């Protein structure tokens, strides 16, 4: 007797094995401390263009060779910045004084791909993941960053074609961040593959509300929080 694997069966099988999904709600008191660093080697100029369907638009970073590309060092590896996109509201939830229900106005995902190159970082931990995603929360505030470059960047989501620069204000705020939560998770869109190393920074970026307005129609929907199951969620600060 042969049995055929219908897509229904595959779907229900995946329902059973899914246990390391993202996003999650982070409860700081349930996380464990681990000494861990993330080192930025982002360049001052990060150029790219918006690509993708409505609701799944990504800022695709131009591939400009090993010298000019932007990287981070995490674990025993080097990772190259490949794509950026936005969620409004945030996908991750963080129990924090800064938020009533754990959610933030927006979340930016910086997707990094592993570089096959030996690097000495002092951290021996290998991340067996296809991507490293850095998540930053965003708070809209009247004291937040505002500039013509920020406005034209988020507006370019819509027009989609021309080459744009990631605004310096974003690069400046992100590369200063040090405290983060860290866990093994998944894509937050189909097929929800469980092959992502997630770093979610504790402090939100501060942007002016008018800056974020143009991104509304192009942002990806926020997926609801998924169970932790047997996972550890770590943090790199006491």
Contact residues toward Zn ion (CB under 5 A) are: 109
Q: Which is nearer to Zn ion, 77 or 219 (CB)?
A: 219
Residue nearest to Zn ion (CB): 109
Minimum separation from the CB atom of position 68 to Zn ion (A): 25
Minimum separation from the CB atom of position 157 to Zn ion (A): 14
Minimum separation from the CB atom of position 118 to Zn ion (A): 30
In the Cβ-directed half-sphere of 9, how many Cα atoms lie within 13 Å?
4
Q: Which is nearer to Zn ion, 55 or 227 (CB)?
A: 55
Give the sign of the dihedral formed by CA 173, CA 178, CA 181, CA 183. Answer: positive
Q: Which is nearer to Zn ion, 78 or 109 (CB)?
A: 109
Q: Which is nearer to Zn ion, 30 or 223 (CB)?
A: 223
Minimum separation from the CB atom of position 87 to Zn ion (A): 6
Write the burial class of residue 164 (CB in 10 Å: 0-12 exposed, 13-18 middle, 19+ buried).
buried
Q: What's the chain's Rg over C-alpha atoms?
A: 18
Give the sign of the dihedral formed by CA 19, CA 29, CA 188, CA 63. Answer: negative
């Amino acid at each position: 007797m042969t049995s055929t694997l219908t897509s229904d069966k595959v779907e229900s099988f995946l329902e059973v094995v899914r246990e390391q999904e993202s996003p999650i709600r982070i409860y700081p008191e349930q996380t464990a401390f681990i000494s861990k660093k993330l080192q930025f080697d982002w360049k001052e100029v990060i150029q790219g263009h918006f690509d993708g369907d409505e609701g799944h638009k990504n800022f695709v970073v131009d591939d400009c060779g090993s010298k000019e590309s932007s990287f981070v060092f995490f674990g025993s590896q080097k990772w190259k910045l490949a794509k950026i996109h936005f969620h409004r509201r945030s996908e991750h939830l963080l129990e924090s004084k800064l938020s009533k229900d754990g959610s933030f106005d927006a979340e930016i995902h910086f997707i990094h791909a592993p570089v096959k190159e030996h690097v000495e970082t002092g951290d021996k931990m290998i991340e067996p993941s296809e991507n490293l995603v850095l998540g930053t929360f965003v708070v809209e505030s009247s004291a937040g960053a505002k500039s013509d470059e920020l406005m034209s960047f988020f507006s370019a989501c819509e027009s989609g074609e021309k080459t744009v620069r990631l605004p310096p204000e974003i690069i400046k705020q992100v590369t200063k961040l040090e405290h983060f939560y860290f866990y093994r998770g998944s894509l937050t869109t189909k097929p929800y593959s469980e092959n992502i190393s997630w770093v979610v920074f504790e402090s939100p970026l501060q942007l002016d509300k008018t800056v974020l307005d143009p991104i509304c129609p192009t942002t990806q929907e926020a997926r609801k929080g998924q169970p932790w199951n047997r996972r550890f969620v770590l943090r790199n600060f006491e």
